[in-house]
Amino acid sequence: MTNKELADLMFPNVTKTIEDYEKEYPERNLPEGAVVSRYAPSPTGFVHMGNMLSCFIENKLPQQTKGVFYLRIEDTDQKREVESGIENIVNAINMLGLTYHEGVMGTDVQKGDYGPYIQSHRKEIYDTFAKYLIENGMAYPCFCNAEELEATREKQKNTKARIGYYGQYAKCRNIDNEERARRIKEGQPYTIRLKSTGNYNRKIVFKDLVKGKVSFPENDQDMVLIKSDGIPVYHFAHVVDDHLMRTTHVLRGEDWLSSVPVHIELFQKFGFKLPQYAHLGLIMIIDSNGVKRKISKRKDQDFTVESFHRRGFPTVALQEYLMTIANSNFEGWRMANPDKSLDEFEFSFSKVGSCPLFDTAKLINISKNCISKMKASDLYDNLLNWANEYDKDFYDVLVKDKDLSIAVLNIEREQKKPRKDYACYSDIKTHTWYMFEEYFGTYEKQYEWSNINDINEIKLILNDYIDNYYSAEDDKDTWFDKMKQLSKKYGYAESIKEYKESPDNFKGNITDIATVIRVAVTTRSMTPDLYEILKILGKDKIKERIQLL
């Protein structure tokens, strides 16, 4: 029986050839040097920030080279699949503000000429490619069951032989085609294995864009390519898909590095051009015991993209932060170019670090900086979008008085060094609630009185202040002069310096007076610029708040 006859028996439904697919998915018509990259996650759970580093770089490279970025869903391991897995992935990419040209746009939506982009929809293609290997004697059906494989493994362990299905241990490799056909017709389950021609004693050397020159023994394992349920394994699907989708650059976790010899062998068997490989270190975190470890999909829910989005980290901050992990020279570039857009930074493989660490404190700093640079009206729009999703009540308050909201967000913003109070949108209400009547009127108030804490003295100073010293028209200098006069009147030094020179002559100094006014209108002893706060509140509201005491 010829290989061709065996292949026809194994794949009675395959009508196309691999040449048909070559024509269906031709070389892409792109400028010289354009990168075609893909994000190829498995829909197996939450998407955390560690998963997104490769996606971020895969998005960046085609931008730099006028290439194509697409999303492929690798759902060949159906046991590990979770409900809404695809939705989680698409949402996470959107939450990071990343876009892609082709691929899976939603659970039921795919876009592009190189699909289907979900592996479970590609069975006909995999069958055609597997059939080709059988026809050409480069793969064979294997009937070994789990017990037989286990027995081989035991034997290898006992004799200290290398573990695996190769050479003399590859039992089904030399069965003749008549016998194979007989067993198939009998209905025996089988996998399809690569008939490896590699030599373990020879080295294979390849260039990884991140790791540099890498060398491994050639593959000599007759790897399973198609499982007994007809579903391909990762290695096979990777080669077929990345070839047909015309991927030029394969970025993935370094846990795949040692599989490259298998992939190279498969690419060579088909006569396909190899893509460029870039294996990225897995992002680690330092846990509460100070131990460095991988981010866990199960335990570390605080690291999911969704969790950062819920807290309201702006997408620019998340991207900016990922770039600091992606390229070690980015922070220096950013320092030299504080106002340039991230798009202007050129990513380079040579600057990828080997052991990336997720540092939340750094993300917070970056995010504070990003938010401080937003124009108040842009911050308002971003905050509104966030609140619409995560804090409806605040959303309503913000919509009700847009001018007030923007004025509040603008406090200490239009200056050389804007304030950096907010790391994320969810911080904003905590820092500004007292500026909104809806909250000031309803919240349980705890006044943070400080040095001046006698309520009679407090009321005396405040009433005098609002009746005789405060005018909405005053500019900042006039306002401050009046604060000095008020301080003097009640026995407080006009400046800290004056107070320090002769502390016995005063009850305190001007900051004590300012604190009384500050606490009366905000309940807080520490706030941004008091002059701006008072100006936004206006005389009537200040008076109302004083009278509440």
Phi-psi domain of 335 (left: phi exceeds 0; alpha: psi -120 through 50; beta: other): alpha
Contact segment (CB under 6 A) with ligand GLU among 35-43, 82-90, 281-289, 322-330 equals 35-43
Contact segment (CB under 6 A) with ligand GLU among 167-175, 246-254, 259-267, 394-402 equals 246-254
With contact defined as beta carbons under 8 Å apart, do 392 and 509 qualify? no
Contact segment (CB under 6 A) with ligand GLU among 12-20, 39-47, 213-221, 438-446 equals 39-47
Size of the site for ligand GLU (CB under 6 A): 9
What is the secondary structure of 461-523 as a DSSP string?
Answer: HHHHIIIII--TT--HHHHHHHHHHHHHHTTEESSHHHHHH-GGG-SEEHHHHHHHHHHHHHS
The residue among 245 and 534 lying less far from ligand GLU, judged by its C-beta, is 245
The residue among 244 and 534 lying less far from ligand GLU, judged by its C-beta, is 244
The residue among 60 and 131 lying less far from ligand GLU, judged by its C-beta, is 60
Q: Which residue in 238, 243, 518, 545 binds ligand GLU (CB under 6 A)?
A: 238
Contact segment (CB under 6 A) with ligand GLU among 37-45, 104-112, 150-158, 194-202 equals 37-45
Query: How far is 481 from 475, CA to CA, in rounded Å?
Result: 10
- Nearest approach, Cβ of 74 to ligand GLU (angstroms)? 4
With contact defined as beta carbons under 8 Å apart, do 536 and 520 qualify? no
The residue among 241 and 300 lying less far from ligand GLU, judged by its C-beta, is 241
φ, ψ of residue 297 to 5 degrees: the values are: -65, -30
Contact segment (CB under 6 A) with ligand GLU among 251-259, 352-360, 448-456, 503-511 equals 251-259
The residue among 297 and 482 lying less far from ligand GLU, judged by its C-beta, is 297
Query: How far is 543 from 520, CA to CA, in rounded Å?
Result: 10
Q: Which helix (H) or strand (E) holds 10?
A: helix 3-10
Put the strands of the sheet holding 249-253 in their side by side order. Answer: 109-111, 102-106, 68-71, 36-39, 249-253, 276-280, 203-208, 212-217
- Residue 41 interacts with ligand GLU (CB under 6 A): yes or no: yes
Query: How far is 222 from 354, CA to CA, in rounded Å?
Result: 31
- Nearest approach, Cβ of 372 to ligand GLU (angstroms)? 36
Q: Which residue in 252, 269, 309, 518 binds ligand GLU (CB under 6 A)?
A: 252
Query: How far is 521 from 537, CA to CA, in rounded Å?
Result: 9
Peptide bond into 141 cis (omega under 30): no
The residue among 77 and 427 lying less far from ligand GLU, judged by its C-beta, is 77
Query: How far is 491 from 209, CA to CA, in rounded Å?
Result: 72
The residue among 96 and 366 lying less far from ligand GLU, judged by its C-beta, is 96
The residue among 249 and 334 lying less far from ligand GLU, judged by its C-beta, is 249
- Nearest approach, Cβ of 39 to ligand GLU (angstroms)? 7
- Residue 42 interacts with ligand GLU (CB under 6 A): yes or no: yes
Contact segment (CB under 6 A) with ligand GLU among 249-257, 310-318, 447-455, 504-512 equals 249-257
The residue among 40 and 533 lying less far from ligand GLU, judged by its C-beta, is 40
- Give the other-Cβ count within 10 Å of 288's Cβ: 5
Binding mask 187-226 for ligand GLU (x = CB under 6 A): ----------------------------------------
The 3-class SS string of 135-196 reads HCCCEEEECCCHHHHHHHHHHHHHCCCCCCCCHHHCHHHHCCHHHHHHHHHHCCCCEEEECC
The 3-class SS string of 126-145 reads HHHHHHHHHHCCCEEEECCC
Contact segment (CB under 6 A) with ligand GLU among 40-48, 289-297, 388-396, 473-481 equals 40-48
Binding mask 124-163 for ligand GLU (x = CB under 6 A): ----------------------------------------
The residue among 130 and 278 lying less far from ligand GLU, judged by its C-beta, is 278
Q: Which residue in 6, 7, 10, 40 binds ligand GLU (CB under 6 A)?
A: 40
Query: How far is 64 from 209, CA to CA, in rounded Å?
Result: 16
How far, CA to CA in Å, does 35 sit from each of 63, 73, 280, 299, 344? 9, 20, 17, 35, 17
- Residue 279 interacts with ligand GLU (CB under 6 A): yes or no: no
Query: How far is 476 from 544, CA to CA, in rounded Å?
Result: 22
Binding mask 52-91 for ligand GLU (x = CB under 6 A): ----------------------x-----------------
- Residue identified by tokens 């005396």 is 460
With contact defined as beta carbons under 8 Å apart, do 269 and 138 qualify? yes
The residue among 37 and 511 lying less far from ligand GLU, judged by its C-beta, is 37
Give the binding site for ligand GLU (CB under 6 A).
Answer: 40-42, 74, 238, 250, 252-253, 256
